[in-house]
Amino acid sequence: MEAGNQTKFSEFFLMGLSEDSELQPLFFGLFLSMYLVAVLGNLFIILAVSSDTHLHSPMYFFLSNLSFVDICFITTTVPKMLVNIQTQSKVISYTGCLTQVYFFIIFSGLDNFILSLMAYDRFVAICHPLQYTVIMKPQLCVWLVLMSWAIIFWASLLHILLITQLKFCIGTEIPHFFCELAQVIKLACSDTIINNIFLYVATVLLGVFPLSGVLFSYSQIVYSLMSMSSSGGKYKAFSTCGSHLSVVALFYGTALGVCLSSTVIHASQRSSIASVMYTVVTPMLNPFIYSLRNKDMKGALRRLLCRAASCPR
């Protein structure tokens, strides 16, 4: 294969989940349905939080940001896959691939950061309830979210700048349904040691540290709950963490599954299928987890739907 610097006219080929033509209509219908459910579900969460004064608190501020990020996260990958299935094409431009990598890093990283901020919010609420309103001021919450955006923006930009220095072979095939950073680096025809070093460093700093914050917050929450004498107080305090714990387990569990599948399982197609859980199923299920396990959210959604349908109070 001929190697050379990519230009704006260069192309990659996304191999997708399967090359079986008979499965393509099934994939199209399945992923279109999952995409619409994810977008509408997260949009309802955002509308419910913004329209209901009962939910104007740090916990739901972070939740609305998580829902917005999830909408962007799933939009980064699924629409292009649907277009390729519909047009029976596997082509993605070089610029389009880098754009997909860029936004995928941003929104997956923001998911990670916001989940850690939500864990910190629950830690303060349960372990320092009398100081909660003093610590979790609206200005602090906004600042934390903006800092998360700024950090992941620059980290993602550095990844892209490093990728632009690589050379790729003409007709490069990506064994995935989207341009995933590690896969793109692996397929380069030039030396990728700097890219790999930065990838590992960024994964530790932007992935392991937020996860450590989540684990530390919940270790303190568990310790605080064990010191409570009232079983009713324990249940009430822990119930406020139930939805977030479920989302954390889903997000990190599927992400770990993708990492293990890419290192242990050598079949690229199986790794791509595992990525579906992380990139598509998780954003789709998050609204259901919060709406089904949270009484305040269920009430806000019910009031929102009643207003939309002009229901009598």
pLDDT at 70 (0 to 100):
94
DSSP string covering 134-176, please?
HHS-HHHHHHHHHHHHHHHHHHHHHHHHHHTT--EETT-EESS
Give 187-231 pLDDT, tens digit per residue.
Answer: 888 888 999 999 989 988 888 889 899 999 989 888 888 877 666
Higher pLDDT, 137 or 10: 137
Evaluate if residue 290 carries a pLDDT over 60. yes
Q: Cα separations (Å) of 46 from 61, 71, 175, 306?
A: 9, 11, 35, 16
The chain-wide mean pLDDT, for the chain, equals 84
pLDDT at 2 (0 to 100):
45
Q: Cα separations (Å) of 300 from 59, 158, 263?
A: 14, 41, 43
What would the CATH number be for the domain defined by 7-309? 1.20.1070.10
Higher pLDDT, 289 or 9: 289
Residues 9/63, Cβ–Cβ less than 8 Å = no
Give 131-189 pLDDT, tens digit per residue.
Answer: 999 999 999 999 999 999 999 999 999 999 999 998 888 778 888 888 988 888 988 88
Indicate the helix (H) or strand (E) that contains 262: helix 231-263
Q: How far is CA 134 from the centre of its chain?
A: 30
Phi, psi angle pair for 62, to nearest 5° = -65, -35
* pTM for this prediction: 0.88
Q: Which two tokens stand for residue 123?
A: 């830690």
Residues 246/289, Cβ–Cβ less than 8 Å = yes
Res. 20 pLDDT band, cuts 50 70 90: confident
Higher pLDDT, 293 or 175: 175
The arithmetic mean of pLDDT across residues 39-66, rounded, is 89
Cβ contacts of 34 within 8 Å, gap of 6 or more:
78, 280, 281, 284
Q: Tokens 């850690």 belong to which residue?
A: 116
Closest to 224 (Cα-Cα) out of 82, 126, 311: 126
Q: Which two tokens stand for residue 55?
A: 């939910």
Q: Identify the weakest region by mean pLDDT among 1-15, 33-47, 149-163, 222-236.
A: 1-15
Res. 270 pLDDT band, cuts 50 70 90: low
pLDDT at 311 (0 to 100):
58
Decide: helix, strand or coil at residue 91.
Answer: strand
Evaluate if residue 8 carries a pLDDT over 60. no
